[in-house]
A and B are shown apart, each in its own frame.
Chain A
Amino acid sequence: MELAISIIVGFMILGAIYAIHAKDILSAVITGGIVGYSLVICFLLLKAPDLAIVQIVVETITLILMVAVVLDSSRTEAYSKLDTQGWVTAGTAVLILLTLFWFMKTAAAPLDHFGQGSLRMADAYVNGAVEKTGSTNLVTGVVFDFRGYDTLGEATVLVTAVLGVLTILRIRGKK
């Protein structure tokens, strides 16, 4: 399974690199979809069907919205050559990335191997969750019962996003 996930992740990286270098913005948006749909297969392989359903539907609708927006734009990207400041910025970005990766590797070393064992916090959630919440789907039990505040925050973020979109786009419409 690790081999399959590695192949899919490599495919995702290739798609992302192509999306950066595509001349046409429409093809860049569509190849960006490779990342999302490959993530769906990864979620299914890792036995997370809840996430897979959300990811595949959201990815499709985002792709529709992005294509609808891109079709009305100029569709060509403005390219510029890297000058000295650009090289300095890129070098700094690579340095910061390497540092963060090293820190992550150090922090993740004492943890359990991925997919084996469970954290002390997760044990309290997994054991006896059906009796505590009454829900046979553990994800719903965690999302709406143990972590209700998080879900309320997510829903509020969505409402705020809609308010922002309406404020920007519908100034003339609602008089």
Chain B
Amino acid sequence: MKGMTIIVKKTTQLIAGIIFLYGIYIIIHGHLTPGGGFAGGVILAGSFILLILSNGSDFLNLVREESGSTLYENLAILVFLFLALTGLLAGANAFFANWLPHGTPGTLVSAGFLPLYNIFVGIEVAASILTIFLALIIFKEEVLR
């Protein structure tokens, strides 16, 4: 897949970082404002997809990128499962028990496990969608070759 013109390349290189930061903001403020792991994760994946589409497939080593994103995806869902399992170990004896102190509602570090769940679900969603996109692109390049 060939890239686009230099104007598009430079503009997307400027914008992609801001989009990535916005995704991180949506994820870590998920328990305070609208948004959360699913929405923020898709925005994170969107910034990568923007870069790949505009710069062509020579910009990133796609196969290496794909094995990385697959690893992150599986690790994130495992950590999410283990965080939910800690409820069984820690006194409460219930799956998904929110046993961390809740703090004052409205501050960034509050609500116990909810921000952690948001972060790991965000990583998982971002890596999943990026993996599907990369698999489609790599398949197309292999077939065309």
Give a binary string over B111-133; 1 marks a CB under 8 Å from any A CB, 0 the rest. 11110011001001100110111
**Chain B contacts of A172 at CB under 8 A?**
142
Name the prevailing secondary structure of the A interface residues: helix
A145 vs B106: C-alpha distance when bound (angstroms): 17
A96 near B: Cβ within 8 Å?
no
A69 vs B140: C-alpha distance when bound (angstroms): 9
CB distance from B139 to the nearest CB of A (A): 4
Chain B residues with a Cβ closer than 8 Å to the other chain, count: 52
A161 vs B124: C-alpha distance when bound (angstroms): 12
A29 vs B77: C-alpha distance when bound (angstroms): 32
Interface residues of A in 131-146 (CB under 8 A from B): 133-137, 139-141, 143-145
The one of B43, B63, B136 in contact with A173, judged by C-beta atoms closer than 8 angstroms, is B63
Given A53-B26, A130-B105, A155-B77, CB of A137 within 8 Å of CB of B32: yes
Total A-B residue contacts, Cβ distance less than 8 Å: 135
**Chain B contacts of A133 at CB under 8 A?**
98, 102, 111-112, 114
The one of A65, A143, A155, A169 in contact with B139, judged by C-beta atoms closer than 8 angstroms, is A169
A53 vs B74: C-alpha distance when bound (angstroms): 25
A148 vs B38: C-alpha distance when bound (angstroms): 14
**Chain A contacts of B21 at CB under 8 A?**
none
A93 vs B19: C-alpha distance when bound (angstroms): 45
B35 near A: Cβ within 8 Å?
yes
CB distance from B81 to the nearest CB of A (A): 7
The one of B35, B42, B105, B132 in contact with A135, judged by C-beta atoms closer than 8 angstroms, is B105
A72 contacts B140, C-beta separation under 8 Å: yes
B59 near A: Cβ within 8 Å?
no
Interface residues of A in 105-142 (CB under 8 A from B): 130, 133-137, 139-141
A45 near B: Cβ within 8 Å?
no
CB distance from A160 to the nearest CB of B (A): 10
Interface residues on A, range: 35 or more
Beyond contacts A53-B26, A53-B34: 15 other A-B pairs, Cβ-Cβ < 8 A, are: A57-B43, A61-B42, A61-B133, A72-B140, A135-B31, A137-B35, A137-B36, A140-B30, A144-B117, A155-B80, A159-B73, A165-B132, A166-B70, A166-B135, A173-B142
By a beta-carbon cutoff of 8 Å, the part of chain B in contact with chain A is 26, 30-36, 38-39, 42-43, 45-46, 49, 53, 63, 70, 73-74, 77, 80-81, 84, 95-96, 98, 102-103, 105-106, 110-114, 117-118, 121, 124-125, 128-129, 131-133, 135-136, 138-140, 142
- 15 CB contacts below 8 A, A to B, read A50-B34, A61-B129, A133-B102, A134-B103, A135-B32, A135-B105, A135-B111, A136-B106, A137-B33, A141-B111, A145-B114, A148-B117, A159-B77, A161-B128, A166-B135
